[in-house]
Structures are given as structure tokens and as C-alpha cells.
């Protein structure tokens, strides 16, 4: 998967496999019990999470969430989602909500001041700073994804190895 040509920060993929959902889930459970030296594999119903273990794990390390959906008797549709560490993702969302809140409040104040024929320059400066900060967060997230690209490929290789075993 070429992550550098994607605009989205959380990459998704879909795969149809000619194996039953229970058989695939069992493969992941068996691999988690026997071969998981560098990776953490969690299986809960039709959801599977693949993570990098502590010695190689960095703040930019991705995780892979797989959802197994039965399609036919012997076929499974797999939805995969690469994402950043949950704590990092939560922190980024918190920052986005703060920036959005400040943007909305100062936009409302700027509009009120404009209607009342009062100066709006300070409000517009804060709005502009919030836009720049939001763009900065986006580029920081792209850089984090770029740093985790190699580990994302490792997780994808592990996923394909388990499915094809």
C-alpha cells in the first residue's frame, strides 16, 4: 500500500478472502499464541488488532484494525484500518476540537463586532492563527504517518502472512 499518495491520515483497505470467518479468526488466535514475539495480536469476536510490541514501538507506530465480515459460506470480506496510537489520536482530536472552538467563538465575536461597527482586526488575527495551527496539525500528522510507514508495511506483511498460512 502506498501511503504517500493518500490524503487521508487513516488508511483503509478491503480484501476478500476465500476462507470462512471462523477459520480466519482461528488463524489469528493461533498466531497470537505461538508466534507473536514482535507483535501484539488481540482478537475479539470479528475484530482483530495488530500492534507493534514495546522495544520497537515509538510514538508514531501505527496499529492495524481488521474487521472480518462473513460474505458467503466460505468467503470473508476484511476491512482494514491503519491508525496511529490511540493516545496520540485522542490528543490530536482534542487539539482539533480546541482549535475549532476558538475559531467558532472568535468568528462569532468578529461578526458581532462587524455588525456593531467595532474593530475586528484582533478577531481576524486569531481566526487566521487558528487556520494556520490547523494546517500545522495536519502536516505534523502527515509526518507522523510517514515515519510509521515502514512499520505499517510490517503490519501489512504480518497480516498477509497469517492469512496465507
For residue 119, the enclosing domain spans 1-165
Domain count of the fold of the chain = 1
pLDDT at 2 over 80: no
Q: Which is higher by pLDDT, 127 or 143?
A: 127
- Beta-bridge partners for 29: none
Residue 76, class by beta-carbon neighbours within 10 Å (0-12 exposed, 13-18 middle, 19+ buried)? buried
Calculate the alpha carbon distances from 5 to 1, 143, 145, 146, 150 in Å: 10, 13, 12, 11, 15
CATH number of the domain encompassing residue 133: 3.30.530
33-66 pLDDT, tens digit per residue, is: 887 678 889 999 899 999 888 888 888 888 899 9
Amino acid at each position: 500500500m502506498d501511503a504517500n499518495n493518500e490524503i487521508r491520515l487513516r488508511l483503509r483497505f478491503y480484501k476478500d478472502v476465500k476462507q470462512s470467518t471462523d477459520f480466519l479468526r482461528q488463524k489469528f488466535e493461533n498466531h497470537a499464541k505461538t508466534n507473536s514475539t514482535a507483535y501484539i495480536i488481540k482478537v475479539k469476536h470479528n475484530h482483530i488488532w495488530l500492534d507493534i510490541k514495546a522495544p520497537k514501538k515509538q510514538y508514531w507506530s501505527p496499529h492495524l484494525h481488521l474487521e472480518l465480515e462473513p460474505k458467503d459460506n466460505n468467503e470473508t470480506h476484511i476491512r482494514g484500518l491503519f491508525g496511529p496510537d490511540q493516545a496520540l489520536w485522542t490528543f490530536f482530536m482534542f487539539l482539533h476540537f480546541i482549535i475549532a472552538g476558538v475559531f467558532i467563538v472568535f468568528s462569532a465575536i468578529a461578526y458581532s463586532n462587524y455588525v456593531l461597527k467595532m474593530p475586528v482586526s484582533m478577531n481576524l488575527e486569531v481566526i487566521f492563527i487558528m487556520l494556520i495551527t490547523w494546517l500545522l496539525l495536519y502536516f505534523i500528522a502527515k509526518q507522523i504517518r510517514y515515519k510509521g510507514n515502514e512499520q505499517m508495511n510490517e503490519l501489512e506483511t504480518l497480516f498477509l502472512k497469517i492469512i496465507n498460512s
